[in-house]
Structure 1
Amino acid sequence: MTNNKTILVVGGTGMLGKPVAQQLKVDGFNVRLLARNPEKAQKLLGDGFEIIKGDVDDPAALRSALTGVDGVHISLKGGPTEADFDHMDHIATRDIAQAAKELGVGRVTILSAYAVSEEKADTPESRSKLKGEAALKSSGVPYTIFRASWFMETLPMFVQGKSISLIGNQIHPLHWIAAEDYARMVSKSYQTDETLNKELYIFGPEAFTMGEAMKIYAEYAGVKVAPISIQMLAVLGALTFNTEWKGMAVLMKHYENWGEDGSPDEANHLLGAPATTLKEWCNKRYSQPVNS
């Protein structure tokens, strides 16, 4: 498949942006990236991508990257401080959306999270994402917001040594999604106008609590699930001046409070339902369980 559409991916070298850039290319789009280090970006993604040097803090580079594209996908990660979250999830989204509108870009798609609403804006991240979504909607550029559940790719990030940390009392069932399924859905959204000006919930095919998902992952990765309280993580973060740990304590308290409440039906109907199960994803990474 080939077409003449060019899509800019902002954050295309990240864990969740890279699969989107790759899927768009597979589906025949011309894919452009905005990257601080073009050489590093090319090494990471390979040939066939147009790379503009710069970042979201460089207005000239941003406008250059947005010029002549048909769409832009935003996959940015903020944190761990409130200022950092606001900078990436709100201000950068606002600036991209405004420039996209001025330059006549056809649509903006963005990765958000399922627990983003006025009611649930109880952390720096959720507040910043909410403001970013509002800025995108008010910009006047056509948009699609992907409110995704937890990604399977985040599970290795909880591993420390021979254990995987289960932080807090995570009781809510979550529909874990593989990044490759999400990337396919983002690419498909650029092939139809039915997804314009919509907030789509992206949920995987199975629901597990975080503890259940970690137990499955641990069997393949050869680690043990190690519970830790949110309070203990916060104390350790404070004692060691570790902003990542302190931020993680806040984040996991947020997800203690809020489970999924959106419906994936519209997204599944328009874009095809995610199919990769957690065990299938683990099998691709590890071939077979280490623990049994």
Structure 2
Amino acid sequence: MLLITTPTGNTGRAVLDTVLNAGETPRLLVRDPARLDPAVLERAEVIRGDLRDPASLEKALSGVEGAFFCVPQSPDPDDMDAYYGSFAQPFAAAAKAAGVQRLVAISGGDGRAGNRGPGVQLHQLEQTLNAAGAATRFVRCGYFMEQFLWMLPGIAYGGMFALPVAADLPLPFVAARDIGHNAGQFLLDRTWTGQQAAAAHGPERLSCDHAAQIASDVLGLPVRFQSISAEQYAASLTPHGVSFAMGQSLGEMFAAISAGRDMGAVAETELPCPTTLREWMQAVLKPALMAANAVGNINS
């Protein structure tokens, strides 16, 4: 039995697709089964529950050999350490009690000097899950292309997106579907042992100026990049429901990157992530822009 958590998220959905395409019948732990595709409900065992609830975890992990774990993304945690710990600690305890043999998790922190922002919590997450006694594979990710979806209103109406990095700083853009596919492959492979990390950093490192040029070409409208301070960036997130703690954490992450810390935590191996930013924008960002314009709801 394989368990997949967060199966309706960008990454978890790709894990689920990979496992289903391999002919497996996974178990899914999900808060709202109605968000699952009806076809998935026919091919998977679904348990309604909360990833932080010990009773839900005990039920979901019973008899499980391998599990995929991902902390659900939320814009409004008041305490980053507490938020990540509220998921990792009960999951690790339940996995240990259930005797789960293999854990695959999304990460991004390697414990190197200069690690700041969410990478700190992700490194702590790795240590917590390693203590469960199972073999582990941590997929350490670069900069998610899906973040452009958050910036779509500014691109559509202002012709601009902004981040607190230099315009010419290369970033490892990576698509969530590639991350999830690799995590799914780990989950399907019953042969690996030990505790290791693998990097999912995308096929190309591009500056934000270059990303703006690609967006202009794909979307058919002028797009430029604006470099802003970490404080300006955090303040710009507040109207969108992002908490002070989350904004500060992201600002710290970008400040560390700007100071010379490479984005995309190092790992023992590099995973194949073939989707280019141009391909992703053509397949995801452009349809999102067209759909939002069609209903006059670009700010949603």
Asked if Structure 1 and Structure 2 have the same fold, meaning a TM-score greater than 0.5 normalized by the shorter chain, the answer is yes
Give the C-alpha shift of residue 102 in structure 1.
1.3
Helix, strand or coil at the partner of 2:131: helix
Cα distance in 2 for partners of 1:28, 1:188 equals: 13
| CA 84–232 in structure 1, closer or farther in 2 if over 3 Å, else same | closer
The answer on 1:51 being equivalent to 2:46 is yes
Structure 2 residue 170 is the aligned partner of structure 1 residue 179 = no
How many percent identity over aligned positions? 22
Look up the SS of the partner of 2:283 in the other structure. Answer: helix
- Paired residue for 1:207? 205
In structure 2, give the amino acid aligned to 1:284: A
8 Å CA contact 1:178–1:204 kept in 2: the answer is yes
Q: Who is 1:117 aligned against? A: 111
1:240-255 paired onto structure 2 within 5 Å = 242-244=241-243, 247-248=246-247, 250-255=249-254
- Alpha-carbon distance in structure 1 between the residues aligned to 2:252 and 2:29: 33
Provide, for residues 241-275 of structure 1, a one-character-per-residue CA deviation record: whole Å limited to 9, x for no partner.
9534773464144124222475567244xxxx222
Match status 1:266 vs 2:269: yes
- SS of 1:8's equivalent? strand
Number of residue-to-residue matches in the alignment:
276
Listed as ranges, the matches of 1:155-170 within 5 Å are 155-161=148-154, 162=156, 163-170=159-166
- Secondary structure of the 1:160 match is helix
Query: Which residue pairs with 2:294 in the alignment?
Result: none
**Can you give the 5+ residue segments of structure 2 that lack an aligned partner in the other structure?**
291-300
Aligned equivalents of 1:244 and 1:118: distance in 2? 26
Q: Distance in 1 between matches of 2:234 and 2:274?
A: 36
- Aligned counterparts of 1:96 and 1:140: Cα–Cα separation in 2: 12
CA contact (8 A) 1:90 1:129 kept: no
CA 1:50–1:211 in 2, change beyond 3 Å: closer, same or farther? farther
Closer, same or farther: CA 175–195 of 1 in aligned 2, 3 Å: farther
Can you list the C-alpha shifts for 1:202-254, whole angstroms capped at 9, x where unaligned?
1211111234224313432345235252333344567x695347734641441
Task: Letter of the 2:170 partner, please give it.
Answer: P
- Secondary structure in 2 matching 1:57: coil
2:23 matched to which residue of 1?
28
Return the TM-score normalized by structure 1. 0.81
Report the TM-score, using the length of structure 2 for normalisation: 0.79
Equivalent position to 2:141, from 148, 151, 174:
148
The whole-number CA distance in structure 2 between the counterparts of 1:232 and 1:53 is: 40
What does the per-residue CA deviation read over 1:115-145, in whole Å, with 9 as the maximum and x for residues that have no partner? 542523433x333222211111122121111
Tell whether the 8 Å contact from 2:92 to 2:131 is kept in structure 1 after alignment. no
Partner deviation per Cα, 1:159-204 (whole Å, 9 max, x = no partner): 2251442212245422222222222211221315336410111121
Aligned counterpart for 1:64 among listed residues 54, 59, 64: 59
Contact 1:164 1:218 in 2 (8 A): no
- Corresponding residue of 2:228: 229
Cα distance in 2 for partners of 1:54, 1:182 equals 25
Alpha-carbon offset, residue 72 of structure 1 = 1.0
Given that 1:151 and 1:176 are in contact with CA atoms closer than 8 Å, whether structure 2 keeps it comes out as yes
Is contact 2:18-2:184 (8 Å) kept?
A: yes
Question: Structure 1 44/233 Cα, relative in aligned 2: closer, same or farther at 3 Å?
Answer: farther
Deviation at 1:150, TM superposition (A): 1.4
Supply the distance in 2 between the matched residues of 1:135 and 1:83 (Cα, whole angstroms): 21
Once the two structures are superposed, the pairs formed by residues 79-158 of structure 1 within 5 Å of their partners are 79-80=74-75, 83=78, 85-113=80-108, 115-117=109-111, 119-123=113-117, 125-158=118-151
Using a 3 Å threshold, how does the CA distance of structure 1 residues 261 and 226 change in structure 2: closer, same or farther? closer
Cα shift at 1:109: 0.8
Counterpart residue type for residue 8 of structure 1: L
**Is the CA contact 2:135–2:193 (under 8 Å) kept in the aligned structure 1?**
no
What is the distance in 1 between the residues matched to 2:247 and 2:220?
24
- Decide whether the 8 Å contact of 1:233 with 1:246 is kept in 2: no
Taking structure 1 as reference, are residues 12 and 242 closer, same or farther at Cα in structure 2, changes over 3 Å only?
closer
| Residue 211 (structure 2) pairs with residue 216 (structure 1) | no
